[in-house]
Structure 1
Amino acid sequence: MELNVIDSGISRRILVHDWFLDDDNIVPRVVEQYLRTDLPCGLKDCKSCTLPKYSALEPRNEALAKVAPFKHTIIMDIPTMTRFVDLLEDDHIDNAVIIQTHWEHLSTTNPQIARKIDKILKGGEKHLAFLMNDMMEGTFVNPEDFESKEEELHHKLIVAAGFLKKHWESLDIKPVIVVSTDEAKEAFLKDYEFVTTVGEYVDSMGDKADLALRIQYLLKQEDTGPSIYPEYLQLNDVDQGLAAGKYQKGAFRVSPENYLEATVSFGVDYAESWFIQGRVSMNRACQGDIVVVELLPKDQWTLPEKVLRMREADEEMEEESAYMAETAAETAEPASKKAKKTPKAAAKPAADDEFQPLPTARVVAVLKRNWRDYCGLMLPSFQADGTDGLFSAFDKSIPRIRVEDPLYQEIVGKIVVVAIDDWPVDSHYPRGHLIQIIGNNGDQAAEEKMVLMEHDIRYEPFNANVLACLPKMPWVPNPESFRKDLTHLDICSVDPEGCTDIDDALHCVKNADGTYEVGVHIADVTHFLRPGTAMDNEASLRSTSVYLCGRRIDMLPDLLSSNLCSLRGGEVRYAFSVVWQLNEDSDVIKAEFHKSVIKSRAALTYQKAQEMIDDKKAKDSISESLRGLLHLSKKLKAKRFRDGALSLASSEIRFDIDPDTGTPLAVQEKKHLPTMSMVEEFMLLANVSVAKRIYEEYPDFAVLRRHPIPPKEQYEPLVRAADALGFKIDPSTGKTLADSLDKAVDPSNPVVNRMLRMLATRCMTQAVYFISSTMTPDKFLHFGLAAPLYTHFTSPIRRYADVMVHRLLASAIGADELHKEMLNKIWLIKQSDIMNYRHKKAQYASRASILLHTYLMIKGLENEVLEAFIVNIRKNGIQVQIPKYGLESIIFFTKSFSKERRNEDFVDYAKLNIRPFQKVKVSVSMVEKNLRRRVEVKLIEPKVDCVSADADVAAY
């Protein structure tokens, strides 16, 4: 080895044989690994390490615990870190070492635990250290020497502890391995002398009774009973099965209509899926887990039950106690599962059913847990004075979690945060522990905080480092050579009422030759938001503004979002402009892009802009500009629909909020105005134009947005509902889907088409951000918009994706230099993942906020009678949509009624005067039972023997 390499701290190079999964094939590879001698041990007083500035350990703890009466640090094995990670935040637990290989293993198998450890390490408040054992001479262990991952990790922990013991010998500091069980302790004692259980360690602290009691409950084992679930396969068997094609790896998703059914999606865009039915086949998988599944023989394939199953409804409709429900109601298999005693008979579809049985599978292993911290309600204990019971998560896809805590009775009925520890094969429920008490059930502030925490919203105020990046006030624009002066144009913005973060403005001028000059002017956020600053880092993590009822959580500080970057009327502002020359048919003749300076003439609402357009007497330049924009937008929209763009629908409501109390005063369904479509069309055109420009300039690094084509199976609810009404929906392509939706019109019932479009919306896949070089151009399509190339450019105040696109476009036109991170594919992919995650969480949080305020509106009302529409009909109940509240609820048929008709398909209910999308009357009120509140919806007309059990509004 060359001398300069040795001097650099690298001691030797080794070759490690590894493998990776490529398109579901196991591919071997050889990896070069360099071992170093200069990496720090983590001890602040260490004189041997050359990089002490990264060190944090200061053990002065010889009197802390009797089982370790000497200066020491602790190292937890993986089961202990998984179950007791919160102890690392406890004031009594300090001077701990996290070893690299164990953290990396948790990052794959239990990422929420790894994220917690990372957060604690970076907090800087504890004496904790991260040991790079897989990169250090003296601690490296070759994984090829072991037959199993468990054996490898066990040995790596022993080697790391032994290395540190010798390294610190002169300082008389010893590492202590902390484990969870006596069995693990015995195993480690064979090779290392300082080993203790977490229970022994805490018990020996003396005056830490509260902590010891908490550990006692976390360690308490349930009496082992007969296995309910199959054991998971060993990793070696999984690897071989995946390589041979016997098993498939994919994402686990629980059905929103039946918690005992799920799908596992895999392949490109998760376009392929296998169906899973029954608790045993689901085998302890949870929402979002990456699982391994085995396809069942064809004679065991089946279809989803045509029934609605909700945990709350099952629990409420069972007469047994909560404890009996644990062993009876929760383990009940679906009727279709019971029917499969004779597999061949179960495989046959109903004679009138055009849908063939779905490929049906069972879970044989979980590769990566998607467990996180869950918000929800602690239910009453199994016994009157018991210390254990069930936790009901806000997320309805999550099973009940069994929690034991010495103070359980004090937290019954409170909104809390719980984490899952494990899910044994003999337990009906996963086991978890309490992390945090948020507040009292029914307290509005606590419930609003729960919405934010449950959806992982970064809602804390911006810190001092971020605020230090803001420009000094008063701010005035400075001349810049590359910036085009467009202040002479009659530009205006058109936004919802009350909007203060105005991203966009428009102008339109008709030229003498009959063509039009049209401009979309977007806030130039990147002038203020520079790469690599604390404000940019925070914006990249937030990735989006979050819109809640009566509250907005900004991506950028208020000085930018509501002032300097907001295109307010009468204010000079920096912008990024797209200016087109369009002909009479709205075809683009030419497109230009400029960094600009503008002065908006007016900040209009949609309603005000519509009034100006409709006022024939108004001949001012702004009114004429708006008329031109509306005229051209209609032609743009028509062209999009001719190309196969979809016109979908959703239920949208808004609340009038008391600004002092935050209480909703009234609820209103959002009205659609032509000016809304007008603005939308030009924003879409700007996004498409910019996408083309940045992709031309940066074909490998363009930040784009795509909407994957939904798998045909996802359209099944839509096709069924339309067929029941005599319409045929053809989902073969976007064009055929759009055309068939246009034809599905019932002149006697105008709501039918809107409801079908709402169903079609639910069949769609999620649109996502991606980096252009990560997939082939044939995958770039935005299905819903029928756009071959698309991005987000028009909302940089509230979306970080738009900020990235602005930087690419500015570089493409020579207005700014491109920061190096925008040419770093690894960083770009990571950031696109963050943006996709944050975008989804923001949507969920917004919906949850609406549901919470729906509760507040209905609270105090008693049996309000409202108009509703039947969305879905199943064998055991109906789903209804209530337009006033934008709410969906389930009304179950009574048991006797459902039993009599359990073999009928839902279309047969026409004889009961019930049909899809029928207008009905319902009563709505708030009820509370077993500490849980829900909206009770009763069917008033027509008269059917049924009971309400709400499924859509969260039971806090």
Structure 2
Amino acid sequence: MIAKRSSKQSVAHKVFVRSTKAGNAHKIFREQYLRDDVSCGSVKCGECSGKAQPDFKGDVVPPVLANTDLYCVVDTNICLKAIDLLEHPDCFTDVVIPHTVLEEVRNQSISVYTRLRALTSTSFQSKKRFYVYHNEFSESTFSQRQRMETVNDYNDRLIRLVTKYYNEHLSNPKSSFKAVLITNDRLNLEKCRSENILAASLHDYVTELGNAKLLDLVAIQEDAADLKSKQKNETSYAPYISTSAVLSGLNSQHLHQGKLSISRYNYLEASVSVQGSSKPFLVIGRDMMNRAFDGDKVVVELLPKSQWRKPLQTLTEADQDAGAADDEEQESSILSEKERLVMLEEARNAKPGEAEPTCKVVAVLKRNWRFYVGNISSEFAKHGERDSGALRSVLVRPMDKRISQIRIQTRRPNELAGKRIVVAVDDWPSWSRFPQGHFVKALGDIEDHQAETEAILLEHDIEFRPFPQAAMDCLPAEGDNWKPDELVLTSGKRRDLRDLNICSIDPPGCQDIDDALHAHVLPNGNYSLGVHIADVSHFVEADTPLDLEGALRATSTYLVDRRIDMLPSLLGTNLCSLKPYVERYAFSVIWEMTPEGNIVNTDFTKSLIKSREAFEYTEAQAKHDDKSQNDDLAQSLRILMKVSKMLKQKRLDAGALNLASPEVKIIMGDEMNDPTEVKIKQAVDTNSLVEEFMLLANITVAHKIYEHSPQTAMLRRHPAPPATNFDVINDQLRLKGFPQIATSSSKAVADSLDTIVDPKDPFFNTLIRILATRCMTSAEYFAAGNFAYPEFRHYGLATEIYTHFTSPIRRYADVIVHRQLEAAIGYKHLPPSHFVKANLEKIVDNNNNRHRNAQLAGRASVEYFVGKMLKSQKEPMVLEGYIIKVFSNGLGILVPKYGLESIIHIEDISSEEEPASFDESNYALILANGRKLSIFDKINVKVESQLHEATGKRSVKMTLG
């Protein structure tokens, strides 16, 4: 990190205390070299003009901070909770970020850290000047941690020292310069006053700027009097237990930890998957969730068996009880009457054997808070009424119905009414029914295409900002004119494979071509078959700003009308993409196989290739099927097809699952982003051809990197689902007279799925496979050292070890695997950061979260565009659907033609005069006219688009046809 050694260096000793599982503590002494030449980064300072300031590359950078009268020093919470204000063009200009703050932000939020690093890049220096001051390496600002001083107090003191240093260092009798510490920590503000250090709260600083709109971006600040007042108006949640109680409870197994997952059908029901339990624990009601958000890592306490409940059988829409009233008008109870009825009538009426382990949340270990998109109630858009400028407390309804309404303060509720807005959550005190947050920005009017698309990205935490300049600076200087270096072939490490008949096979319009294949017959009669993958790691060096940006994004996201790239387009769709007719660097896996598909030899090599053709799936299929074509590519395709079928059969024989999910393709009609048609994606044999060789490459590479790095190999596992996950679907199949799904192994599941057919309905088997997919656990990335080898198994693919190697342009996990494979074959040493297990675990967690979010964003985009298409229809469409869920107050319907899934509410099929009855044991609703609607029934439904009045979210409405 230090760019050069100073002529004068001193040594400080840092002492860390680390606890062990046995409860012992070890002191760790570390030497810290201090320098006398760390620059303050200001052009005002003549003393530091020749001093060093290291950046990512270890270079010396020129002064950044301008000759202004005020520098702001920001603490960690300002960076974490007010990053939008820091980025706002009308707010901060000359800002000092202490290295202490930067490291704290890096540990708490990699996304905010990346945005903060972007502010320090050269692209912002013209208008916004952010400077990282390495205070912990400077003799002027370093200080030892005092005895009994907490880490937070120590860091706060270091930040105060930085502020004091700038005021003293840049003091001048002829100048009015001041450095001010911006912090919302009251204790820190008090200490600043006692130490004569200039400091201000964020609210006071923004108020001084005189821009009222900026105040909406400031988090709510509550004082003791406000808290006491609100406690009178709202019933309290249970306070969280102490950290020591959490640790003690987890050690004694009195408490359990896991991730909270709130039901998409009923926001009052959640589950927590707990290690060692075959079934997730139920959490029923908002009071038992105790302020936890979906995705939070929580600590739960199992309730006595007398309080165990059964899963809810009622659909519940998002909480609409409180509207958007001011604080004094809000209801006082935590639970609404609707919630009470649901809990009393359903959850407590469990029959013997129906009740499941039920728990309550007693602490939150890690919040899953993100930006939330929603809208303010339309009641503020009163005709002729203008915003008075007074601060008002309003509630924002998130688009995600699982999320509670969020209280924010704003001076312009009428102006924001009818718009899609973004809010951030700051706190959820025990006295408050709703979490507290603050306004971030307005996206645009509800149903505006750009606003709705950005809402989808924000709701799923997709990073879609332009790439920071620091990352763009890492791209090849030649740009589009880059050419492979012929000299690299002479080293023997990169093999020249330009003579092979290589081609790619991808979906229509694919530009980021990750993979290509070849096949030919060897002189001995065996086959040479190769998978060639884009050599992304050649262009993306580890630990550079470009690499850090790719690690943050983790994956490309594919929406209906756009692609959010993991890497800049110069790489993703050009230099890395294995386009035809041009030379490209690749990472190749080449097998020698017998005609029976048995592997004789495997070779891994960095290569230089030149693809002969870029086929679409249907084009490759046509060339394969056309017997009149016998050129080299046609023969290659036929060999690949022959071997792929043998590989697939071997997988199926080993127990690989052939599951299903409805996938649709949106046909766009014009430049106005209007969809004209929705089609189910049709697969041809070449789809399977590509899939089989990608699977084989991933499995082969997994073995290689695990052999070389048994602790840190980046692998992917798919845990076997608990047999209890299939209980409901098997009970439903039994009632309908179909065979049940065997669960003893993946092969048993695969074989039994083949037997569940309806001769009168070809789609029925696909329907069961779709529902069986939902009984599975999720596949996940992991570091090899975190599991025993038997737990590596990928259940769905029926392979003992697996990884992702074949899509490095769009998956960061594959980039890590490429680097690990480079090290395994002796091409290049593994970067130090990649064999530190703690670092890899952070990457793994981010990859898992981002991969899942990208999938959900893609589905949300499809749902949005299908809604737009239906909106253009003059009359509701009558389509064929299947009942896949039965609730006490509605039906879950799947429409295969469009891959649509929605709800028919009971009020649309019955009335108070002629109510429908719920036959829970037979998974059916019985209408007043005697008609029975039960699970798996095929029915006609009317499908139309509707705008949800409360959330402003367009969705599909279904009624009986």
- TM-score bracket, shorter-length normalisation: 0.7 to 0.9
1:249 paired residue number: 257
Which of 881, 890, 893 is 1:877 aligned to? Answer: 890
Which of 428, 432, 450 is 2:433 aligned to? Answer: 428
Question: For the residues of structure 1 that align with 2:497 and 2:81, how far apart are their CA atoms?
Answer: 61
2:241 paired residue number: 233
1:64 paired residue number: none
**Secondary structure of the residue that 2:710 maps to in structure 1?**
coil
- Assess, with a 3 A threshold, how the Cα gap between structure 1 residues 143 and 743 changes in structure 2: closer, same or farther: farther
Question: For the residues of structure 2 that align with 1:128 and 1:476, how far apart are their CA atoms?
Answer: 37
- Assess, with a 3 A threshold, how the Cα gap between structure 1 residues 778 and 703 changes in structure 2: closer, same or farther: same
Tell me the CA shift for residue 580 of structure 1: 2.2
Question: For the residues of structure 1 that align with 2:594 and 2:410, how far apart are their CA atoms?
Answer: 71
Residue 938 (str. 1) matches residue 938 (str. 2): no
- Assess, with a 3 A threshold, how the Cα gap between structure 1 residues 33 and 281 changes in structure 2: closer, same or farther: farther
Tell me the CA shift for residue 774 of structure 1: 3.9
Tell me the CA shift for residue 547 of structure 1: 2.0
Q: Which runs of 5+ in 2 are unaligned?
A: 55-62, 172-176
Question: In structure 1, what residue type is equivalent to 2:29?
Answer: E
1:944 paired residue number: none
- Assess, with a 3 A threshold, how the Cα gap between structure 1 residues 259 and 578 changes in structure 2: closer, same or farther: same
Residues 297-446 of structure 1: matches in 2 within 5 Å?
297-311=304-318, 315=320, 331-332=336-337, 334=339, 338-339=343-344, 349-350=350-351, 357-381=355-379, 384=382, 387-446=392-451
Question: For the residues of structure 2 that align with 1:134 and 1:713, how far apart are their CA atoms?
Answer: 56
Tell me the CA shift for residue 405 of structure 1: 0.6
2:795 paired residue number: 783
Residues 691-730 of structure 1: matches in 2 within 5 Å?
691-726=702-737, 727-730=739-742
Question: For the residues of structure 1 that align with 2:578 and 2:106, how far apart are their CA atoms?
Answer: 43
1:448 paired residue number: 453
Question: For the residues of structure 1 that align with 2:213 and 2:240, how far apart are their CA atoms?
Answer: 36
1:755 paired residue number: 767
Question: For the residues of structure 1 that align with 2:347 and 2:330, how far apart are their CA atoms?
Answer: 28
Question: In structure 2, what residue type is equivalent to 1:725?
Answer: K
**Secondary structure of the residue that 1:914 maps to in structure 2?**
strand
Question: In structure 1, what residue type is equivalent to 2:249?
Answer: G
Which of 941, 946, 949 is 1:922 aligned to? Answer: 941
1:351-383, CA deviations, whole angstroms, 9 ceiling, x for partnerless residues?
A: 5x6xx5332211112232221222333332569
1:87-124, CA deviations, whole angstroms, 9 ceiling, x for partnerless residues?
A: 54564557777677777777777887777767667776
- Assess, with a 3 A threshold, how the Cα gap between structure 1 residues 58 and 691 changes in structure 2: closer, same or farther: same
2:29 paired residue number: 32
**Secondary structure of the residue that 1:878 maps to in structure 2?**
strand
Question: For the residues of structure 1 that align with 2:474 and 2:34, how far apart are their CA atoms?
Answer: 38
Residues 858-897 of structure 1: matches in 2 within 5 Å?
858-861=870-873, 862-894=875-907, 896=912
Question: For the residues of structure 2 that align with 1:301 and 1:84, how far apart are their CA atoms?
Answer: 42
CA contact (8 A) 1:277 1:337 kept: no
Residue 606 (str. 1) matches residue 617 (str. 2): yes
- Assess, with a 3 A threshold, how the Cα gap between structure 1 residues 740 and 349 changes in structure 2: closer, same or farther: farther
Question: In structure 2, what residue type is equivalent to 1:441?
Answer: I
- Assess, with a 3 A threshold, how the Cα gap between structure 1 residues 916 and 541 changes in structure 2: closer, same or farther: same
**Secondary structure of the residue that 1:704 maps to in structure 2?**
strand
1:763-791, CA deviations, whole angstroms, 9 ceiling, x for partnerless residues?
A: 33332333333433222222211111212
1:135-194, CA deviations, whole angstroms, 9 ceiling, x for partnerless residues?
A: 99874444746xxx7xx746864686479658956866887676659x869975996566
**Secondary structure of the residue that 2:378 maps to in structure 1?**
strand
CA contact (8 A) 2:894 2:901 kept: yes
Q: Which runs of 5+ in 1 are unaligned?
A: 62-70, 942-956
Residue 280 (str. 1) matches residue 287 (str. 2): yes
Tell me the CA shift for residue 577 of structure 1: 3.0
1:764 paired residue number: 776
2:556 paired residue number: 545
1:538-564, CA deviations, whole angstroms, 9 ceiling, x for partnerless residues?
A: 444443332222323334444544444
**Sequence identity of aligned pairs in percent?**
34
Question: For the residues of structure 1 that align with 2:137 and 2:331, how far apart are their CA atoms?
Answer: 44
Question: For the residues of structure 2 that align with 1:780 and 1:870, how far apart are their CA atoms?
Answer: 36
Question: In structure 2, what residue type is equivalent to 1:885?
Answer: Y
* Superposition TM-score, scaled by structure 2 size: 0.82
CA contact (8 A) 1:299 1:347 kept: no
1:816-872, CA deviations, whole angstroms, 9 ceiling, x for partnerless residues?
A: 555555445454444444433432332222222212221221122131222222121
Tell me the CA shift for residue 932 of structure 1: 1.5
Residues 462-611 of structure 1: matches in 2 within 5 Å?
463=469, 464-470=472-478, 473=481, 475=483, 478=486, 480-481=489-490, 482=492, 483-510=494-521, 515-531=526-542, 535-611=546-622
CA contact (8 A) 2:324 2:395 kept: no
CA contact (8 A) 1:42 1:56 kept: no
Which of 904, 910, 913 is 2:920 aligned to? Answer: 904
Which of 835, 838, 853 is 2:850 aligned to? Answer: 838
Residues 154-165 of structure 1: matches in 2 within 5 Å?
157=156, 161=160, 165=164
Question: In structure 2, what residue type is equivalent to 1:457?
Answer: E
Question: For the residues of structure 1 that align with 2:111 and 2:660, how far apart are their CA atoms?
Answer: 35
Question: For the residues of structure 2 that align with 1:486 and 1:790, how far apart are their CA atoms?
Answer: 27
1:681 paired residue number: 692
Question: In structure 1, what residue type is equivalent to 2:769?
Answer: R
Q: Which moved more, 1:664-673 or 1:127-136?
A: 127-136
Question: For the residues of structure 2 that align with 1:510 and 1:778, how far apart are their CA atoms?
Answer: 37
**Secondary structure of the residue that 1:585 maps to in structure 2?**
coil
Question: In structure 1, what residue type is equivalent to 2:368?
Answer: N
- Assess, with a 3 A threshold, how the Cα gap between structure 1 residues 162 and 320 changes in structure 2: closer, same or farther: closer
Q: Which moved more, 1:220-229 or 1:422-431?
A: 220-229
Q: Which moved more, 1:445-454 or 1:107-116?
A: 107-116
Tell me the CA shift for residue 692 of structure 1: 1.7
Question: In structure 1, what residue type is equivalent to 2:288?
Answer: S
- Assess, with a 3 A threshold, how the Cα gap between structure 1 residues 724 and 99 changes in structure 2: closer, same or farther: farther
1:51-80, CA deviations, whole angstroms, 9 ceiling, x for partnerless residues?
A: 77479778965xxxxxxxxx88666695x7
1:193-246, CA deviations, whole angstroms, 9 ceiling, x for partnerless residues?
A: 668773884498385555568769765958512433112223333333334433
Q: Which moved more, 1:128-137 or 1:711-720?
A: 128-137
Tell me the CA shift for residue 618 of structure 1: 4.3
Residues 137-286 of structure 1: matches in 2 within 5 Å?
139-142=143-146, 144=148, 153=152, 157=156, 161=160, 165=164, 198=201, 201-202=204-205, 205=208, 207=210, 221=226, 223-224=229-230, 225-267=233-275, 273-286=280-293
Question: For the residues of structure 1 that align with 2:772 and 2:573, how far apart are their CA atoms?
Answer: 36
Residue 623 (str. 1) matches residue 634 (str. 2): yes
RMSD: 4.3
- Assess, with a 3 A threshold, how the Cα gap between structure 1 residues 390 and 41 changes in structure 2: closer, same or farther: farther
* Superposition TM-score, scaled by structure 1 size: 0.82
Tell me the CA shift for residue 638 of structure 1: 1.8
- Assess, with a 3 A threshold, how the Cα gap between structure 1 residues 26 and 292 changes in structure 2: closer, same or farther: farther
Question: For the residues of structure 2 that align with 1:517 and 1:116, how far apart are their CA atoms?
Answer: 47
Question: For the residues of structure 1 that align with 2:826 and 2:192, how far apart are their CA atoms?
Answer: 66
**Secondary structure of the residue that 1:508 maps to in structure 2?**
strand
2:466 paired residue number: 460
2:60 paired residue number: none
Question: For the residues of structure 2 that align with 1:452 and 1:216, how far apart are their CA atoms?
Answer: 23
CA contact (8 A) 2:100 2:136 kept: yes
Question: For the residues of structure 2 that align with 1:363 and 1:248, how far apart are their CA atoms?
Answer: 10
Aligned length: 906
Question: In structure 2, what residue type is equivalent to 1:699?
Answer: P
Question: For the residues of structure 2 that align with 1:82 and 1:624, how far apart are their CA atoms?
Answer: 58
**Secondary structure of the residue that 1:205 maps to in structure 2?**
helix
